[in-house]
Amino acid sequence: MPRQEVDIEGILNSLTQDEKISLLAGATFWETVGIPSKGVPSIKMTDGPNGCRGVDIVGSTKAACFPAASSVASTFDPVLARRVGAALAEEARTKGARVLLAPTVCCHRHPLGGRNFESFSEDPHLSGALATALVRGVQEDGRVAACIKHFVANEQETARLTVDETIGERALREIYLRPFETAVRDARPWSLMTAYNLVNGVHCDGHDWLLRDVLRGEWGWEGAVVSDWGGTNSVAGSINAGLDIEMPGPARVRTPAAVRAAIEAGEVTEATLDERVRAILNLIEKVGGFEPGSAEASSGERAEDRPEHRALIRDVGARGVVLLKNEAQTLPLTKEKVKGKKIALVGLAKDALAHGGGSASVNAHYKISPWDGLHAALGDSVELVYAKGVHRERLLPPLSKDSSVAGEVVGLDGQPGFTRLLYEAGNPEPVSTLHGHVNSAYSPLGSQESLNRAVEIVGDFTPAESGAHYLACSGIRATTVWVDDDVVFRQDSNCADPMGALFMAASEDSFRHTFEGGRAHRIRIRTEPPTNVGMRILEGRSGARMGFMQASEHDADLRGEAERAARDADVAIVFTGHDPQWESEGRDQDSFNLPNGQNELIAAVARANPNTIVVNSTGVAVAMPWLADVRAVVQAWFAGQECGNAVADVLTGAVNPEGNLPVSFPRRLEDAPAHGNFPGQVIDGRLRVTYAEGVFVGYRHYDRLPREAVNFSFGHGLSYTSFQLEGLRVEPSGADEEFVATAQVTNTGSLAGGVAVQLYAGNATQSPEHPAKALVGFQKARLQPGETQSVRLVVRGRDLAYFDEKAREWVVAAGTYLFSAGFSSVDVQQKSSVQVEQRKVYSL
């Protein structure tokens, strides 16, 4: 049914100046301002990139958890990405949201990037193609806007609010802006989010060149620009540059008084104010906000566990799994092969590593662990045994009302759970009491009610066993912990890592305290409302967490137990990876090595059992010092709520692996292109980082190094079958200076399977200023045994161009261009060359 036409200009002209100003910032943490008297509705936004959480950070409405972007990227399949986008839009509507804050389009610059898992790839072509597909999926039903983020160069979490990045225009154009440009030009997302960081000395939310000249000028984009949460840094500067909405609300920077003062001072014109408001009204119109009944559709949140979403998540997760190594055809572990045998599942086998931390965290409908998935897949045909091997968490787990093994927790009402109390300054009596609080971890964004109030979390804990147990605590601001009225922990100042604390990933020192088993101990945590914490969105919000672990569990010989289990088994599978505390928005990786002794665990298991398989669930490349000692390696990423089933499907052969690496896996961190320039140096009180590697990011850099510098190359991925590529031809199409590459790919093995045919191109005359090659096209082919399929890839002339900084234009130099087709950046099967007779220039 066609929508009725909305008179945007008529609405705009009916608004008073104060009403226009009110629209320039959100009304709440997730909603825009509505003006009912003028027919302007409020619309709601929601995270995020792999699931729609809704308004609450803690205790949010249950939602479907989809594979993370790095997992989706590994499919090399835009069709699947589009289906994920469409499903995310359906999820957004169940949360009453009209704007989905996704996808994250930034490139992987360094393996330690804390938020890499949220982004697709190190390669701008692959990132742009998949972002385009996902945006189209989100917006195809016309009721939810995609909001691509973070514009631009948000490649690190360290000091992300204030870091100043020096980036040459060529690197910006060819690497960091390129995936945004592709998505903007080809999919036309209706909204875009700015980054926190500064680029060449200017905050992105007020960056004239980025927002006005490039985004809205060169690319001709007409959507609405939203700040990252707390990422508005100026009044007139951001309004004039093109930032339409400050989030979250209510306004912290664009207060009505501040905007009126800027207008009265001549710093902002009425015409510019109208531009900003017009963009907001157009966004509301595009998502159907003006339609009758739209307010009711956005009013509530529902948890809809849809079978079709379950199936899609499992399918995409499995197709994104990458088989990195498979010596002696160790995999697949079919029922026939393992019948009657014993398999030791070691490490994080009972942990469903479905997602990373921060904006990508959701309260999933459920999470399937590999232990559950393999039990379901193999049934009674095999004996599965388990050994924990290592602790998963960075932090001690919170003491929860569900921690029945450690002991029982009851609140002041005598019921399970803690009691949360809120206090006004100077008032000894609580102004709010909430019983049944889930655990002793309290998010600083968990409750609008706690704003500018002190928080106390109180409960009576009866431990299951006596002894000196381990505790740890941290708060956003001054925080104290009492046990039986004795102070056991005190933090007198603001948290040194507020961003980490925001996402429950700040470092904490543990300490020991003796408890008596069977006796109730009163635990009380109090934290004051923070001020001057360095994060605008945390000002006035109170948050603290306390972790707890029994000494018997903390000090157990987990590795020895795992080694013994592996020695007694026919096959050992070690499950490794990062949970959301280790890989999260808010902080970069601590190390290239897997945490908590996981490398040592793998080495011990491999010594005990020659048939050792490693399944790694991270969103980034990791060190693999044990690579030569294990039979097989599987990269499972963060595959969503069906992660355990997706992994089991690949391990058992129910799904033939077809994933390909969207990032290079270097052998050493020192060989990474940004090494030495990540995360930067503090100069004049500000963290500054120079993108000295320029355009040599990912495989563009590794192509200049010896092959052994990389464990696994970009695009690498094995299969249980085999493929052959033949007959590559590249010819001019005669249309818009395009080239058409054709080839034939054949499944030469005995199983049906999929393969990503990858096409790279570069000037045949090598020079130190230019990468040897770059990805210019790819196509996923799924073939039956013996089947041959034709592959056809269109390459635009500009895809061969480099950006000339002096002339400020895209240039294809005259000469011979070599096209390489194959199954990874180094596994080249076919080559073909074309001649460009004369220099070609492309406008911005």
Query: With the C-alpha atoms ordered 764, 768, 772, 776, is the resulting torsion angle positive or negative?
Result: negative
208 is catalytic: no
Numbers of helices and strands, H then E, in the chain: 20, 39
Pairing of strands 521-527, 454-463: antiparallel
Angstrom distance (rounded) from CA 491 to CA 474:
7
Angstrom distance (rounded) from CA 320 to CA 661:
9
Beta strands in 660-801 (DSSP E): 665-666, 681-683, 686-690, 710-712, 723-732, 739-747, 753-763, 774-783, 788-795
Choosing from 228, 244, 579, 649, the catalytic residue is: 228
- What is the number of residues in the chain? 844
DSSP per-residue letters across 773-796: -EEEEEEEEEE-TT-EEEEEEEE-
Q: At what angle do helices 643-651 and 307-320 cross, to 10 degrees?
A: 50
Exposure string for 316-333, b = 16+ CB within 10 A, e = fewer: bbbbbbbbbbbeeebbbb
According to DSSP, the residues that pair with 763 across neighbouring strands are: 817
Give which of 384, 377, 399, 514 is closest to 460, Cα–Cα.
399
Q: Are 460 and 522 in contact (CB under 8 A)?
A: yes
- Secondary structure (H, E, C), 173-231: HHHHCHHHHHHHHHHCCCEEEECCCEECCEEHHHCHHHHHHHHHHHCCCCCEEECCCCC
636 token code pair: 């499972």
Angstrom distance (rounded) from CA 599 to CA 614:
11
Q: Report which secondary-structure segment, H or E, holds 93.
A: helix 78-94
Measured CA to CA in angstroms, residue 731 lies from 262, 538, 746, 779 at distances of: 57, 57, 22, 18
Number of neighbours of residue 235 by Cβ within 10 angstroms: 24
Phi/psi of residue 33, nearest 5 degrees: -80, 135
Enumerate the active-site residues: 228
